[in-house]
Chain A
């Protein structure tokens, strides 16, 4: 049984950890929003800003990882506290990957801005809306400890996949029409792929949040026989 003093210290460390994760989440959201805005408005300055912001996010990832290890070593938490620490370590990995994908989008935007626009974007902004919304709502579910909301995020992954298939088909027609379109079309296709990957990572976040709230693992349901 830990003493009262260490108990307080433990609570305060947990609160700090939680704040750091939310801070990282807020920054990650900002990066992907800025990248998509840069795409829509062809704003290279904004894209460069988004790329620069990634360094701070990487720093936060290391900081949070370190804090998790320290809490584990110092307090040896159990039950939901232990779940919180373990998912924290996984959450930051996914958050960091989401930011990287945001950076990838911005890099493609910089390349795209060197040429005239290929076509007006129709499905891409909608797809981006859904993907960004998933990340946002997953973090909301984390704040509220709401497994229902996390489940809702997972359900939306299918929509994003459908958008990706649709955009891919459409871009193919542009490429077949004129080989000169291929370079720009592949860049747009990459961006769609990045958005699709962002949605996948948001799904991962949500699965871990459900695990944290309920204590049940919802990953790879139906595909793996688990030991009891």
Chain B
């Protein structure tokens, strides 16, 4: 800066000196002296006058965007000050936008159900989210995800499967792999790893919990296998019976009747099965419409149980009703309740030995309505309790088919009771009978005359 000013002053001093001619040398000398003095003084005053702007710029560079240059600089530097202020305003706007964008991304990551893990090339954690931490560290003692900085995946999660999957990830190949997390509640995670090379090199890991999906898949597989098997059995029987019938119908009409009976029995079975399946899918798809009406429980049960009486008597089984009061009235769907109670009583008769006792009890109070079907039959081992209400679940596959059930009864019971707003539970010990209890909240069976009277 200094030499340039010196030159300008020198020229300024030289021009008049050249014009006057005579005192040219004196003028030149004066000019040179003036230039030297100016070269010393001018920069100092310039520095002084731009000092406020410099300090504003310095504060800006330190990140303090609240300062303004226009208010503290002299008039003749106003354009510079304005330009700096404009710059700082732009900067602060951009910063605010970037910050809110960053916060937004952070909030999204925090609320995502998928686990996200961002790693550098050395597999050090750059960023993660709570979902991922709770997936990989089910027993995490509340360590916030920000504290993993600079640690590697193996150090933090110590999951060998994830580490080997990462080792296999290359820029050109995406890795998608399922890893299992053991523990009290084993989980199955689907992990997708992509290599990224945008600004920073590293890996992006996205993890999805597929435990429930895999469970449902296996349920569906089981169901399809079960249905096919259940449908095929009677069809095969019908097929073989018709085939035989074709051969004997002319020669041996007496025997032919046996085969016709067999066909009839099996088509009945097929019919029952398909009917139950349709019923179940109707209830499950929520197409089942509950039509509430007031039901006098005592009369309802007596009428219904009369249907089972002949079969029960033939085997010396006593069915009794034990209601809290004879005037118990509930408002619910008659057909659904019929189906539920019939299914349970039917099962009890089917599986109890001759001479057993079956009791149907009902209780209504201000907190709930309970209807229970209990027997003193062989009971059900605890290991089956959890799966008993599944479609086609059989405790003893052979025996159940021999007694002629479709394997869908309890599943229908459960779905119907739930459609009516209640829940069904089982209490049973091997050798000590079983009790199926349906519990409804009072709102599900509310009726204007539901208060039990004095019997």
Chain A residues engaging chain B, CB cutoff 8 angstroms: 15, 19, 22-23, 25-27, 29-30, 33-34, 37, 139, 143
Contact = CB atoms under 8 A, between A and B. Distances in A.
Which of A15, A26, A30, A143 is packed against the most chain B CB atoms within 10 Å? Answer: A26
B155 A143 contact: yes
Given A19-B152, A23-B163, A143-B158, 11 more contacts: A19-B123, A19-B154, A22-B152, A22-B154, A23-B164, A25-B158, A26-B154, A26-B159, A26-B160, A27-B160, A30-B182
B165 to A, nearest CB: 12
Contacts of B320: none
Given A34-B182, A37-B182, A26 B158 contact: yes
A22 B122 contact: no
B182 A33 contact: yes
Contacts of A30: 160-161, 182
Nearest to A16: B122
Contacts, number: 32
Nearest to A21: B154
A105 B411 CA distance: 40
B158 A22 contact: yes
B182 A23 contact: no
B158 A29 contact: yes
9 contacts: A22-B152, A23-B154, A26-B160, A26-B163, A30-B160, A30-B182, A33-B182, A143-B151, A143-B155
Given A15-B122, A23-B163, A26-B163, A139 B158 contact: yes
**A contact patch SS:** helix
A88 B163 CA distance: 20
Interface residues of B, number: 13
Interface of B: 122-123, 151-152, 154-155, 158-161, 163-164, 182
Contacts of B123: 19
A33 B181 CA distance: 11
Nearest to A25: B158
Closest 3 CB pairs of A and B: A26-B160, A22-B154, A27-B160
A140 to B, nearest CB: 8
A85 B158 CA distance: 21
Contacts of A37: 182
Contacts of B163: 19, 22-23, 26
Nearest to B164: A23
B415 to A, nearest CB: 30
A218 to B, nearest CB: 24
A17 to B, nearest CB: 12
Contacts of B182: 30, 33-34, 37
A30 B122 CA distance: 24
Nearest to B158: A26
Nearest to B124: A15
Contacts of A22: 152, 154-155, 158, 163
Contacts of A33: 182
A89 B160 CA distance: 20
A26 B163 CA distance: 9
B178 to A, nearest CB: 14
Contacts of A26: 154, 158-160, 163
Which of B122, B151, B158, B163 is packed against the most chain A CB atoms within 10 Å? Answer: B158
Contacts of A19: 123, 152, 154, 163
A19 B164 CA distance: 11
A29 B139 CA distance: 15
Nearest to A136: B158
Contacts of A15: 122
